[in-house]
Structure 1
């Protein structure tokens, strides 16, 4: 089966993609293109899946670089292959050709960035905590430090969980309201004291506040499309023991 890759015209001048689960070597609950080494999947299957992604990105397997994601606002500046090392961070930026920046997600936002004129790109993993703590702004700042200009940066949010499928409790809402009462607009009422959180809407807001020239969401929900996307929340609701990880990548 061929790989399925979601792209955006906003990231023109780069090779990039939000990869779905189609076309992979994994089986069972991981069936498809599981690229998460932290999952319980067979190592050989994950290695093969990542090699297929690297080939699609036209880099060597070691040129597909990522980080040990910890829901932080931390950004790594990449100047070449990381030689197996995975620093603890949640975003990467580079102005170097021949490496593909990648992040893994399974409901959180994968965000790809580019200032093609300056030759600077970025990739970020933004769950609710990372987005609230500033990982998107930190990625933009790191790109600017490499020569990008905010008004030229395009940022695209890939497949992520949509508001209709992201139910949270009152303590979650309070955390956002404590940060900024205006953040209440990213929540709508749910059952009882539960509310529904608009993660991609919040991500777009933070990107625009950071001054990027263009921000968009591809409008694919990971939760509601099990044939194409892994979803942590869906796996919990189905009482599955684990879940696969989607990969998103970008290179100059």
Structure 2
């Protein structure tokens, strides 16, 4: 089976102002009609008719979907499916979009891994649920998408130490020499320790790259999307 992964930028949509232009978040204060138009374009451009969304809350709840759902998955930060043609969507603007897939089992997952979710173990929980659906960590391929980098993500020293305790490898130093977090580095180590052998990293920093949305940089802003699905044969 073929697993597909896509990450959007802020270009190509109809949103205006601080949401310019391809904002896909419907919870950030943008014109609902613009968000709906952007979401419709997302599906049509990719040839997808079934997009699965979630109400992200910075936790570790994982929800299995099959495309029959009528709305976003409530209070969850990871979606898993083994239904071909159902595209899982994660929305971010500095947090890490994590796209996982076992092409042999045909199981995929999309995860919202911000500081809190990464700290409390949303990735190990996702791997556990994927295994219940037939995936094997040794076959899983992962993309860690665009996110704020460790040189830009400044946090209090106590916070950096706390996250490092739960997510080893995440502590960093910013360009100013202050304590920071590199969530992608910590997640990479966590995935590797779980037996995942193929881990790709999109090196773009949302804070530095103005073609991407960044909440830390702009405050009022949109959300980019990471999507993954198994192609229907």
Stretch moving more, 209-218 or 115-124: 209-218
Distance (whole Å) between structure 2 residues aligned to residue 85 and residue 163 of structure 1:
31
Please tell me whether residue 16 in structure 1 is matched to residue 5 in structure 2: yes
1:246 CA drift (Å): 0.6
**Kindly tell me: are residues 159 and 59 of structure 1, through their superposed partners in 2, closer, same or farther at Cα, counting changes over 3 Å?**
same
1:69 aligns with 2:37: no
Q: Any conservation in 2 of the 1:81–1:99 contact (CA below 8 Å)?
A: no
Residue 43 of structure 1: CA displacement? 0.4
Return the TM-score normalized by structure 2. 0.93
Give the match for residue 184 of structure 2.
200
Indicate conservation of the 8 Å contact 2:110/2:228, yes or no: yes
Counterpart for residue 56 of structure 1: 45
Where 1:110 maps in the other structure, the secondary structure is strand
Larger helix percent: 1
Contact 1:65–1:99 under 8 Å retained in 2? yes
User: Within 1, Cα distance between the matches of 2:154 and 2:197?
Assistant: 31
Q: How many residues align?
A: 230
C-alpha separation between the residues in 2 aligned to 1:184 and 1:58?
38
1:33-48 correspondence to structure 2 within 5 Å:
33-48=22-37
1:245 paired residue number: 223
Native 8 Å contact 1:57 1:251 kept in 2: no
Q: Structure 2 unaligned runs (5+)? A: none
In the TM superposition, what is the alpha-carbon distance from 1:174 to its structure 2 partner? 3.1
Q: Which runs of 4+ in 1 moved over 3 A?
A: 177-180, 189-192
Change (3 A) 1:139 1:25: same
Secondary structure of the 1:164 match is coil
SS of equivalent to 1:79: coil
CA distance in 1, matches of 2:170, 2:94: 21
Q: Deviations over 1:66-107 (max 9, x none)?
A: 110011111000122321243111000110012110000000
- Partner secondary structure for residue 176 of structure 1: helix
CA RMSD of aligned residues (A): 1.8
**Alpha-carbon distance between aligned partners in 2 of 1:30 and 1:66, rounded to the nearest angstrom:** 19
**Aligned residue among 200, 203, 206 for 1:219:** 203
1:189 shift after superposition: 6.2
Show the counterpart of 1:173.
160
Distance 1:162 1:154, change over 3 A: same
5+ long unaligned stretches in structure 1:
1-11, 237-241
1:239 alignment partner in structure 2: none
Residue 16 of structure 1: CA displacement? 2.1
Q: CA deviation at 1:176?
A: 2.6
Aligned partner of 1:231 among 214, 219, 232: 214
- Alignment correspondent of 1:7: none
